[in-house]
Amino acid sequence: MTPAELSRTVLRSVRGAVEEQELSVAVPARIVVQPPPRPGCGDYASNVALQLAKPAGRPAREVAEILRKRLAGSPGIARVEIAGPGFLNFTLGDDAQVALVRQVLAQGAGYGDRSAAEGAAVAPAPADSVSPADPLAGPGAVVAPRSPAARSAREAVVAEVLARIDAAAGVPDRRQDRADTRPAPATLPPNGPADPLAPVGPHAPADLLDLLRRLGSDEARWVLLRPAAHDPVRAPERPVQRESNPRFRVQYAHARVRALLRNAGELGFSGEPGDVGPPVTEGFPEVPDEASRRSASGGGGSRLPDAPARLPRTQDAPARALQGFLALLAAYPSAVEAAARLRAPDRVVRHLEATADAFFRWHDEFPPLPVGEQKPSAVHRARLALAEAGGTVLANGLRLLGISAPEHL
């Protein structure tokens, strides 16, 4: 069950309570559910009862109890509890977690992308596709000036990526019904080119060419897309392949997933969604050993530079690691929709960063590959499937941003 599905389930419970006159309130347009701030409070939480309490003229906990009774036993929900002044905490059933992994793997490149589901081909939009007169330009939209030569690297890349995000979120073409016959300038090439000095079009901004020379396409895109609209761009002198670089962490996490799948294939097993079993009983070293680094690079002899360090293991780390990773996978489609609605591609960037970091925490507690003399089991197949789902989300997000998802790193 994704957050969007859970939100719709809660909304139906509110609507039912209103229709049967248990509550006298206006049914909200949408209900927000999100991971709880503390472990041990379920998988998701909602403050809908607190929002409805005043218009209903009833205590929030009383409203929460009405909704709890309606939600108890709903498909995919194992438990609903009331916390504090009236928060609803939801614990999903194991079948919901398995269903999420199945959904991500079944949809593959189409997970979180409505254009893929509808079979639409989405071409990069011209960098000046949003004009100051465009009534669809939402708050925070990056509006390019009329003269192509006057655009900056940031405006060019943001506008191009927003066109793909819009399509993925199912937003209508913002350029339709506008007669604009100006030649469309070329934009920063997705996933390349191999030669960072290759031409990018006659109207390419000078600062874009400079970033390509210094950083290459992947890093140039990342530094332009990561800041929020009101934050400045801070470009490094050169790309850095270490954990302090969030772009490296995201690409490294994807490469690690691909390595896990290759290594599992060599051991004769593949992923199958299911129960991921208990976590390891002993912690990992603070820094991965040489074998881990080589495994992440696909078994080669080269040493990966500064692979992300292991986090210290605490008592509640396993539950938090699993719940956090699953929650981020489920929330990816919502992150894409929020990026389109708010005209903020940095929402996708930061969701990928969080997903990559959550993947490493989960991997430490639930290693997908057998160790030593262990034989591959159903637990390993379930963990491998969950890892593959994480890799799918990372690849889909990187594709939206026009950044490569490497098989090896």
> Mean pLDDT by 10-residue block, N- to C-terminus, for the chain (409 residues)?
83 94 92 77 89 94 95 86 92 83 94 72 36 31 35 82 93 55 41 39 60 81 90 78 88 97 96 91 42 43 40 64 89 92 95 96 94 91 97 96 92
For residue 173, the model assigns a pLDDT of 64
Going from the C-alpha of 213 to that of each of 66, 157, 238, 320, 401, the distances in angstroms are: 61, 16, 10, 42, 19
Among candidate residues 15, 25, 24, 32, the one with its CA nearest the CA of residue 67: 15
**How many Cβ atoms from other residues are within 10 Å of residue 397's Cβ?**
26
315: tokens are 């008592």
Strand order in the sheet with 77-83: 44-46, 87-92, 77-83
Residue with token string 């002899």: 301
For residue 131, the model assigns a pLDDT of 30
For residue 208, the model assigns a pLDDT of 65
Domains in the chain (CATH in brackets) are 3-92 (3.30.1360.70), 123-225 (no CATH), 246-401 (1.10.730.10)
Going from the C-alpha of 60 to that of each of 14, 85, 91, the distances in angstroms are: 13, 7, 20
**How many Cβ atoms from other residues are within 10 Å of residue 135's Cβ?**
6
**Close Cβ partners of 232 (under 8 Å, ≥ 6 residues apart):** none
Q: Is the dihedral of CA 280, 285, 291, 294 positive or negative?
A: positive
Say how far apart CA 3 and CA 327 lie, in whole Å.
8
Say how far apart CA 389 and CA 2 lie, in whole Å.
14
- Phi, psi (degrees; rounded to nearest 5) at 44: -140, 160
CB contact at 8 A, 386 and 325: yes
Say how far apart CA 120 and CA 124 lie, in whole Å.
13
> How open is the CA angle 302-303-304, to the nearest 5 degrees?
115
For residue 190, the model assigns a pLDDT of 47
CB contact at 8 A, 209 and 200: yes
**How many Cβ atoms from other residues are within 10 Å of residue 40's Cβ?**
10
For residue 140, the model assigns a pLDDT of 38
Antiparallel, parallel or unpaired: β 44-46 and 77-83: unpaired
- Phi, psi (degrees; rounded to nearest 5) at 116: -70, -40
Q: For the whole model, what pTM was predicted?
A: 0.69
Going from the C-alpha of 45 to that of each of 164, 279, 288, the distances in angstroms are: 31, 24, 34
For residue 69, the model assigns a pLDDT of 94
Three-state helix/strand/coil letters over the chain: CCHHHHHHHHHHHHHHHHHCCCCCCCCCCCCCCECCCCCCCCCEEECHHHHHHHHHCCCHHHHHHHHHHHHCCCCCEEEEEEECCCEEEEEECHHHHHHHHHHHHHHHHHCCCHHHHCCCCCCCCCCCCCCCCCCCCCCCCCCCCCCHHHCCHHHHHHHHHHHHHHHHHCCCCCCCCCCCCCCCCCCCCCCCCCCCCCCCCCCCCHHHHHHHHHHHHHHHHHHHHCCCCCCCCCCCCCCCCCCCCHHHHHHHHHHHHHHHHHHHHHCCCCCCCCCCCCCCCCCCCCCCCHHHHHHHCCCCCCCCCCCCCCCCCCCCHHHHHHHHHHHHHHHHHHHHHHHHHHCCCHHHHHHHHHHHHHHHHHHHHCCCCCCCCCCCCHHHHHHHHHHHHHHHHHHHHHHHHCCCCCCCC
